[in-house]
Amino acid sequence: MSEAKRLHPVSILFDLIFSVRQFILPIIIGFFSFRNDSLVYYLLALAGLLLLYFVIAIIVWYRFTYRVVDDELRIEHGVFVRKKRHISKNRIQSIDLTSGIIHRIFHLTKVEIETAGTGMEAEASLSAVKRAEGEALRRELKSGDTGAAVNDELDNETSEQPERPHSAISPKRLFIAATTSGSVGVIIVFALTGFSQFEQFIPEETFKSTFNWAIGLGLVIIITLAVLFLLLLWLLGIAGTIIKYGKFTITRNEQELFITRGLLEKKQITIPLRRIQAIGIQETIIRQPLGYVTVFAEIAGGSMDRGEDFSSILFPIMKEEEVNDFLAVFLPEYAGVDYDLRPLPKRARKFYMLRASWPFLLLIAAVGWLFLKFIWIPVVLLVIGGIGLGWLRHRDGGFKVTGKRVTIRYRGLLSRNTVLMYHKRIQAYEKKQHKLQKWQNLATANFSIIGTMGAGTHFTVKDLAVSDTHVLSDWYSRQRTRTDN
């Protein structure tokens, strides 16, 4: 592939869509701001800008070329200033293929190349190439590796490679994952954010009349509408999860894991085993009573645009008792998860409850000052959300050292996380202690590993007994000494 090649012409459309998306909010505001004759001039100006962006996109596409020469990928781009980027095969960590709706219509794919030094974005991105050409480019850049062959099997293409360990999500499990994902909260946040952006453009009279109309409906009707609205958001969350994780399949090669997922946008993600820093088991507050968990991996390096919320989901949902069998097949060194951890001391419970309760205490003070008759609402929230959450966090916290591996467990806002780390992956161990902890003979343990973009990812267990932090400190120092020797 020494001959310079250009991207597929469809990439011009992608560049144009990206440019328009950056200014979508001002464009929408313009439609509300201009009226009558001024709207015509606004539309003409908008059409002129779109034409200008289209011409620029054509020039950018024509000036972008790529080729593979002397074991490196060479990319040349730039309109006025010509830029050249050389990426050696030896530096390439992973090559991911993504096919959105438009890609699949034209049998194209997007190629994203990541190296050890990848930052906010992929080291190199080819927005639109022929599917076969993308596969050929991956084989060329990963020559001597059987990764491409495994992905060819996932695409139902002929391959002479032996069958490798793989697992796929069933429709039943996918539906359970969608209905218990808790993504409705994220949708509500986005909806409120969007409303706050457009609220300033709603006429005050319209806003007041709508508010008075809603009040006049009565409490029962308002509650019914609120329930229907939440149900709609829940259904949207279900659809989003099914679209994102539909046809999820994970396959293991000798040195890599390959993940394929997505109904509308098909993604193929490559995870080199050497870049896995920790394995996590997450139980949301909804899934935990049902016995379902999500298995994820913390990956060193990589970019923020992998779409996995800074971690890579190894399997969206499975039964807790299935985790060890799953790890034994795909990551045998992490198999043998032991959930019988050393618990936190009972004297630490009050600190967990206090930390979880202080936002509700502030809310009680505010409501008591402004709306005294409704003070029972934040009090109930304090009991359920503050004291209850603090009790759960204390009960779930703990750790266990097994040979060269440490297992820690903590609860975030709504999810309980069990994380397995090997000593060689831990970059630093830190013990912290404030005055109140010192008074109660407690301390906080913090483990740091390499995370996304090469930055640190930290796992913390608060309010351990000081003797337990000494155990962890001795383990970390002893293992490091053995490694140095």
Position 188, amino acid: I
Continuous segment of H or E residues that includes residue 347: none
Cα 259 to Cα 257: distance, rounded to the nearest angstrom = 7
List, as one string, the DSSP characters of 420-467.
Answer: EEEGGGEEEEEEE--HHHHHTTEEEEEEEEE-BTT-EEEEEEEEEEHH
Task: For residue 300, give the nearest of 449, 142, 113, 97 by alpha carbon.
Answer: 449
Continuous segment of H or E residues that includes residue 304: none
In 301-396, DSSP assigns E strands to 312-319, 342-343
Cα 106 to Cα 433: distance, rounded to the nearest angstrom = 59
Q: What is the DSSP letter of 477?
A: H
Tens of pLDDT, residue by residue, the chain (485 residues):
568 899 999 999 888 888 888 888 777 777 777 777 777 888 888 889 889 989 999 999 999 999 988 888 899 998 888 888 888 888 887 888 988 888 888 999 999 888 765 555 677 889 999 999 988 888 888 764 434 443 444 444 434 455 788 999 999 999 999 888 765 555 555 555 554 445 454 555 665 666 566 555 666 676 777 778 778 878 888 888 899 999 999 999 888 899 999 988 888 888 889 889 999 999 988 899 999 999 999 988 655 444 444 468 999 999 999 999 999 999 999 998 988 999 999 999 999 998 888 888 888 888 788 777 777 877 887 787 778 889 999 999 999 999 999 999 999 877 899 999 999 999 999 999 999 999 999 999 999 998 665 567 899 999 999 999 999 999 998 766 555 55
In CATH terms, the fold of domain 10-144 is: PH-domain like (2.30.29)
Question: Domain residues of the chain, as ranges?
Answer: 10-144, 172-245, 346-394
Q: Scan for tokens 């958001």, then name that residue.
A: 233
Overall pTM surpassing 0.85 (yes/no): no
Q: How many residues does the chain have?
A: 485
Both structure tokens of 17: 């869509």
Count of alpha carbons within 13 angstroms of residue 396, beta-carbon side: 24
